Amino acid sequence: MYTNLLGIHKSGIAVKIKENIHQRALRKWIVAGIQIPEVIEGNNGDSRYLLNNMIAKYTLAADTYAISELAHDEFIKLKKI
């Protein structure tokens, strides 16, 4: 099951983002976490570390990954070696 979200590309253009059930759960956790002042205001500590890890896990939970054209070209070069 996927959730369609609307995101903003770095160019400023709105894009659709497909979010799987694992990402949706992590997004809900992240949203709840950033509502806790100690998480946002604290520069160090376990709560900030945990928030950063959940953001990383959200990205890693994706079914597919977007990469730059330059990275794609480098992968193609490596494949030919």
User: Considering the domain boundaries, does residue 28 fall inside one?
Assistant: yes
User: Considering the domain boundaries, does residue 37 fall inside one?
Assistant: yes
Query: What tens digit of pLDDT does each residue of 16-52 get?
Result: 777 889 999 999 999 999 999 888 887 777 888 888 8
pTM metric for this prediction? 0.64
User: Considering the domain boundaries, does residue 46 fall inside one?
Assistant: yes
Domain residues for the domain of 42 are 21-80
Query: What tens digit of pLDDT does each residue of 1-23 get?
Result: 566 666 666 677 776 777 889 99
Angle (CA) 20 25 4, round 5°: 40
Residue 16 has what DSSP assignment?
Answer: E
User: Considering the domain boundaries, does residue 3 fall inside one?
Assistant: no
User: Considering the domain boundaries, does residue 43 fall inside one?
Assistant: yes
Number of structural domains the chain divides into: 1
